[in-house]
Structure 1
Amino acid sequence: MSTFNTRGITLGIESFGDDSAPLVLLAGGTTMLSWPDALCERLAAGGRHVVRYDLRDSGKSTTTDPQAPSYTLRDLAADAASLAGRLGGRPAHLAGIGVGGMVAQVAVLDHPSAFSALTLVGTRPVAPGPPDDDLPDHDQATMSRLFARPMPDWSDREAVAEFAASGAEILGDDPVAARAIAARIWDRTPGTAPPVQMANQMGIVFSMLDCRPRWRERLPEIEVPALVVHGRRNRFFPVGNGEAIARVIPGARLLVLEEAATAVPDAAADEVTEAMLTLG
């Protein structure tokens, strides 16, 4: 893992594979560890230069004040375009997971010449907040259970890892994997200030971003090959959100992972890799 400076900020990055190979850029949701090691390694073995990165206010990227971000969703999209151009030197395959998928949608719309393909994993076509009437919202019973839990002591690594494991169990993800990833995120987080730890573990900064104007109506403008991956058991962004995206992006392929929820499980890494490699 290292850092990369662009547009006056620092972004935490990790590279896999041959630097001269076609670039696959993975936008975190919000940290790079949202993208599983197994998927990164398989993409690299498939002849790609894979770079996963932390969004602002997470991981090793510039962290200022997650409770009052001074940037917008479009700034995050511009970060992706700048990173793609400086790392690859040619249009890159951009992938975003969760809220990183929102960044990826806007990046491809606002900076079409920077990207050659688009993969969207477990995301939706509208900003945080109430969705459009035709889109399924978070499962309310699941959200009630998630937010009924007391916050952990953010200075306690094991408490944070346990909090992540219990959340994964509620969401239908693997609690063992979630515990391990949360511990790695904690280790990479600059300090133990609760707002910073929460931003890294829960992505709360996104609820405070300016995400205007809407981009959903522009999705038919996307001209690059697109893949939409969604877990059938995703209770946070139910699968209808992925289906809605795939319907309106011209030629998009929808890949539903029947046994997955919000995370990409290692068992699905080969299937997702194969689908991504077919895009270019």
Structure 2
Amino acid sequence: MTEPLSHGEKLVEINDVELCIETFGNPANPAILLIDGATASMLWWETELCERIARDGRFVIRYDNRDTGRSTGYPPGRPGYTYTDLAGDALGILDALEIDRAHIVCRSMSGGIGLIMGVDHSDRVESLTFVSTSTGEDGLPPSSDEVTSGIPADPDPADPGAVVDFVVASAKACSGGSPYFDERATRALVERDVARTRDIASTLVNHYAMSFDGSSRDFASVKAPTLVVHGDHDPVCPLPHGHALRDAIPGATLLPLEGAGHDLPKPLWDVFVPALLQHTGGRR
């Protein structure tokens, strides 16, 4: 009988909090830990994408960061953690799964988590992949006006329908007018996400309210092989942010995604997945 790719969601206690994790594939294969960005639960690393990577000989791990999905939440506007704590959670997940070293894939805001892991915990990191993120240095182009103009006013957290509309509109704005944005699929994902989230009011605000205490670390100190993946339509961190990140990390390579915004649209998985497999191949 073929082993199911997903081993199901489970809550694990790490660093005195509960984190919801899900794994795919054979634990004996090289591990890929997927970390998502601000307000995003693990569902934004779509199940089909995780299964596709797992089928190609990787052990894939996705999880809900604090204040997303089924993981521990904090009162709205009062997150009881910092960037370093979130990096500690990622390391704790590897410990819980008895994984010494993993390939770390971090998207958007979680690029800071990847930086902390790559500099302070390089012995745990086989490789790094940064998706739609930035060095945050001065002089890079700001987010485009279409991001703020396309996002409606903050919704009433007690109204799930309004929250869904808000998150879908936000995702559409962050797609940068990408021809690949699928509003129907996005809405279905958001509806599932909102339904399983412990406290959507905290999800909407707390990642933006936490202390970003990783800024003193230097991307030039990253030693792990690094792949930078960046959409050429990204209105949140325009493509020069990807160029700057590649240039800041010794030996890093850049994979531009033609037609992608601040997301990782399904039609471009045929580009992303082979590049990720090549980047993570042969290491354990």
Question: In which range does the TM-score fall when normalised by the shorter chain?
Answer: 0.7 to 0.9
Q: Give the whole-Å Cα distance in 1 for the aligned partners of 2:64 and 2:153.
A: 26
Residue number in structure 1 paired with 2:4: none
Residue number in structure 2 paired with 1:3: 11
Residue number in structure 1 paired with 2:210: 209
Cα offset for 1:75?
A: 0.9
Which of these residues, 164, 179, 183, is aligned with residue 175 of structure 1? 183
In structure 2, the residue corresponding to 1:26 is in which secondary structure?
strand
Residue number in structure 2 paired with 1:83: 93
Q: Which stretches of structure 1, 4 residues or more, deviate above 6 A after TM superposition?
A: none
Residue number in structure 2 paired with 1:58: 68
Cα offset for 1:257?
A: 0.7
Question: What CA deviation, in whole Å up to 9, does each residue of 1:238-261 have, x standing for no partner?
Answer: 121111111111111111111111
Q: Amino acid of the residue matched to residue 96 of structure 1?
A: C
8 Å Cα contact 2:228/2:255 also seen in 1: yes
% identical aligned pairs: 33
Richer in helix (by share) = 1
8 Å Cα contact 1:57/1:65 also seen in 2: no
Deviating more after overlay: 205-214 vs 237-246: 205-214
Residue number in structure 2 paired with 1:150: 153
Question: What CA deviation, in whole Å up to 9, does each residue of 1:59-78 have, x standing for no partner?
Answer: 11111224111211011111
Cα offset for 1:55?
A: 0.9
8 Å Cα contact 1:101/1:120 also seen in 2: yes
Q: Give the whole-Å Cα distance in 1 for the aligned partners of 2:228 and 2:17.
A: 30
In structure 2, the gaps of 5 or more residues are: 1-8, 176-180
8 Å Cα contact 2:84/2:214 also seen in 1: no
Q: Give the whole-Å Cα distance in 1 for the aligned partners of 2:259 and 2:168.
A: 18
Cα offset for 1:279?
A: 2.0
Matched, 1:120 2:130: yes
Q: Amino acid of the residue matched to residue 114 of structure 2?
A: A
Q: Amino acid of the residue matched to residue 137 of structure 1?
A: P
Q: Give the whole-Å Cα distance in 2 for the aligned partners of 1:168 and 1:63.
A: 22
Q: Give the whole-Å Cα distance in 1 for the aligned partners of 2:109 and 2:208.
A: 10
Which of these residues, 97, 112, 117, is aligned with residue 107 of structure 2? 97
Residue number in structure 1 paired with 2:56: 46
Q: Amino acid of the residue matched to residue 110 of structure 1?
A: D
- Residues 177 and 98 of structure 1: CA distance in aligned 2, closer, same or farther (over 3 Å): farther
Residue number in structure 2 paired with 1:111: 121
8 Å Cα contact 2:68/2:197 also seen in 1: yes
In structure 1, the gaps of 5 or more residues are: 127-131, 191-195
Q: Amino acid of the residue matched to residue 19 of structure 1?
A: P
Q: Give the whole-Å Cα distance in 2 for the aligned partners of 1:211 and 1:150.
A: 25
Residue number in structure 2 paired with 1:226: 226
The TM-score with structure 1 as length reference comes to 0.88
Cα offset for 1:197?
A: 1.3
8 Å Cα contact 1:165/1:176 also seen in 2: no
Matched, 1:136 2:146: no
Q: Amino acid of the residue matched to residue 2 of structure 1?
A: K
In structure 1, the residue corresponding to 2:75 is in which secondary structure?
coil
8 Å Cα contact 2:83/2:214 also seen in 1: no
Q: Amino acid of the residue matched to residue 15 of structure 1?
A: T
